[in-house]
Amino acid sequence: MSESDIATWEQFAAQARAGELYLDSEEAARQCLTACDQRIQDLRDMARYVRQTQNVSGFGDFDMANDLAGMFEKQASGEDNSIESVINNHMEVVKDMGEIMALSIKRITGQDVTNTANFNTNTEAMG
């Protein structure tokens, strides 16, 4: 995801906070909010796997093996285009999307669903 895409969604979220942008269908907003909650959970699951990839070994005990292990570690985390960075960027965009949906529902119904959505996500995670 490019910096431009991230900035665009940040701008959309700011417009939603200012009351300038909202989705005018409560049903669509609720479905999108549910999808955002699920996507955040999926991204969190992926992030757990990425943490496991940060321990690279088994290439042998020579300089080239250490260089190769370092390259794989950088791909996992530590660089702008690392897997960890990409997942974090996606998570921020989905959070902005969810905020827009929650603000849309609040505007339509007067009901604050931000805390409700977070509560539902945490409750589902607990089982």
So where are the chain's domains?
26-126
Q: What is the per-residue pLDDT for 116? A: 52
Cβ partners under 8 Å of residue 31, min gap 6: none
Count Cβ atoms within 10 A of the Cβ of residue 71 and give its class: 0-12 exposed, 13-18 middle, 19 or more buried: exposed
* Residue pLDDT, tens place only, 86-114: 999 999 999 999 999 999 999 999 877 76
Q: What is the model's pTM? A: 0.75
